[in-house]
């Protein structure tokens, strides 16, 4: 999971801050995501909302791959 991976990536003294930030970002995404997608769907089309979600998923994949070193675990 992302939480387990993140806790391994940061040092012991930074785990609280990193995991707290992760939870904050997760909460904001759950709060802002559905209304944002609704606005996109109302203003454009259903397809645009799905393409935007796909683009965000690709960005997240790229960020995660950049963060993985030769020995990710």
Residue 56 has a pLDDT of 87
7-41 residue pLDDT tens? 888 888 888 888 898 899 889 989 998 898 888 88
- Distance from C-alpha of 36 to C-alpha of 49, rounded to nearest angstrom: 9
Q: Which residue has the higher pLDDT, 55 or 7?
A: 55
pLDDT (tens digit, 9 = 90+) per residue, 40-51? 888 887 888 788
Q: Read off the tokens for 70.
A: 């030769």
pLDDT at 12: 87
Tell me the mean pLDDT in the region 50-57.
88
| Structural tokens at position 53 | 């979600």
Q: What are the helix and strand counts (H, E) for the chain? A: 3, 0
């Amino acid at each position: 999971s992302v939480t387990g991976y993140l806790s391994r990536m940061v040092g012991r003294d930074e785990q609280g801050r990193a995991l707290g930030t992760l939870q904050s970002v997760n909460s904001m995404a759950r709060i802002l995501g559905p209304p944002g997608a609704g606005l996109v769907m109302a203003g454009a089309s259903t397809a645009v909302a799905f393409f935007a979600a796909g683009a965000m998923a690709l960005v997240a994949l790229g960020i995660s791959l950049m963060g993985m070193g030769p020995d990710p675990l």
